[in-house]
Amino acid sequence: MIPIVLKFGGTSVGDVQAFENVADIVGARVDLAPVVVVSAMSKVTDALLASTKIAAEAKPREAIDSLDSIFKRHKQTANKLLTAAGATRYATVIDEAKSATSTLLRRIVVEPANYRALQDSVLAFGETLSSILLAQLFIERGISAKQVDARRCVITNDEHGCAAPLMTETFAATQSNLLPLIEAEVIPVLGGFVGSTSTGETTTLGRGGSDYTAAIMGAALNAREIQIWTDVTGVLTADPRVVPTAQTVERLSYAEAAELAYFGAKVLHPKTIQPAIEGSIPVRICNSRAPDEAGTLVCAQIESTPRTVKAIAHKTGVTTVQISSARMLGAYGFLRALFEVFEKHRTVVDVVTTSEVSVSLSLDDAAALPEIVADLEKLGTVGVEKGRAIICVVGEGLRGTPGIAARVFSTISDINVSLISQGASSINFTFAIEEERVKEAVTRLHEAFFGESKVQRSESKVQSSKSKVQSTTA
């Protein structure tokens, strides 16, 4: 039995209705041998994190009380979802969690040296509680399921807060814990985000880490697919707030998805899908509010559609910086000195272009700009432009298709373009424009690349969903 991994994020288990939807989605897929990975209920991780910070300020009572509403919310949700007996049992779980987190929060006050470790132990309750509730709901709905503590499967180093999984140990532990359940047609339900060191200390994988857990489970079990269930219909051809006619992209390569990741949290983080890439396991982004839609499939196969361009992403609020210096010509060490300035001020540089005597780059976070400029001026003449937007045209087909740049620029020929770059992967074409014109530019580009032949597109959609049905029944 080749399993499929289904991951549900915090909003997919945010309330009673959301839990019901998950039970429906999983219930309709029991034949696919699902392994379910779930996040904490929405906003719970934030609340747990905040409580540890309050405790660190030596306010244990306040910290403990701050979690009351969270525990109450779990109980109320369970009361509405479960039978009276189930809800009573779950209330006991919550009461135990309450006393365990209280103890941990008090320890934070007296053991500041263990802060990060204790914090991870507190955070783990978010995913533990949602996974216990979800498994119980499945059982009451007649779906054979069992909650599995993710700490038994995901073995990590001891870097609390962003622990790195030890893949060999993790794969072995995952297989030995989950395969017998899968064989017995029992659905394992695990909390994402949480792991444990080989000595049994609780760790977490970094914020948003449940996707990572799902990818790790998928790779460990050699799953047929990893499905990330969220509240959008996969990846869209453009931001729907700007282009209301934006459509779901059917397929993306891992590289295309990685390029798009920068442009919005809705796309998978490249680190997250690394285990899937290594195991060549397709990742599908699905919408829990529209479960019948195919979503976006991210996989290794490079499919360069005749259309070439897959998506047009953009980002506003960008600052661009230009540094010109005659010293750069024929010299080495110049770029190192330049990037050291950004490192010193802990500022992430995004797009970079360089000529013989000048470098242009873009920054998302310009908080340290005055200090950065002061340091850069030691290297050359510095220019800054605020209120810029970055537009990124992505598609594997860009690699070998002439004329894309001409088409992009002729479409927006009346708009000033700067910082033009094409990354080493040659699957994206990125540039900056002034922020005020970004809506107009993206709309026109979308029209130029996706506007026509809607009929042909819907035909190809039908075909691909047919072939999907074939492959799942095979």
427 binds, among Mg ion, ligand ASP, none (CB under 5 to 8 A by kind): none
**What binding mask, one character per residue, do residues 93-122 give for Mg ion by CB under 5 A, x or -?**
------------------------------
207 binds, options Mg ion, ligand ASP, none, Cβ within 5 to 8 A by partner type? ligand ASP
Amino acid code (one letter) for 213: T
Minimum distance, C-beta of residue 208 to Mg ion, in the bound complex (Å) = 5
Strands (E), 39-151: 145-148
User: Cα(22)–Cα(60) distance, rounded to whole angstroms?
Assistant: 36
Q: 220 or 328, CB closer to ligand ASP? A: 220
Residues that bind ligand ASP (CB under 6 A): 9-10, 39-40, 45, 126, 192-193, 207-210
Shortest Å distance, C-beta 21 to ligand ASP: 17
Q: Which residue from 181, 186, 121, 179 is spatially nearest to 151, judged by alpha carbons? A: 121
- 212, 272 Cβ separation under 8 angstroms: yes
Assess contact for 49 and 119: CB atoms under 8 A: yes
The residue number with the shortest CB distance to ligand ASP is 210
282 binding partner (options Mg ion, ligand ASP, none; Cβ < 5 to 8 Å by kind):
none
Reduce the DSSP state of residue 197 to 3 states and report it. Answer: strand
Binding region for Mg ion (CB under 5 A) out of 4-12, 242-250, 307-315, 391-399: 4-12
Binding partner of residue 191 among Mg ion, ligand ASP, none, CB under 5 to 8 Å per kind?
none
Nearest to 124 by CA among 151, 145, 98: 151
**Shortest Cβ 39–Mg ion spacing (Å):** 5
Report d(CA 311, CA 260) in Å as an integer: 8
For Mg ion (CB under 5 A), the number of binding residues is: 3
Q: Which of 3, 4, 5, 9 binds Mg ion (CB under 5 A)?
A: 9
- 229 vs 13, 22, 211, CA distance in Å? 11, 9, 10
- Told to check if 279 binds Mg ion by CB under 5 A, we report no
Least spacing, CB of residue 144 vs ligand ASP, in Å: 26
Distance CA 162, CA 417 (A): 38
Interacting positions 34-73 with Mg ion (CB under 5 A): 39
Distance CA 403, CA 45 (A): 48
> What phi and psi values does residue 420 have, to the nearest 5 degrees?
-80, 130
Please report whether residue 192 would count as binding Mg ion according to CB under 5 A.
Answer: no
Residues that bind Mg ion (CB under 5 A): 9-10, 39
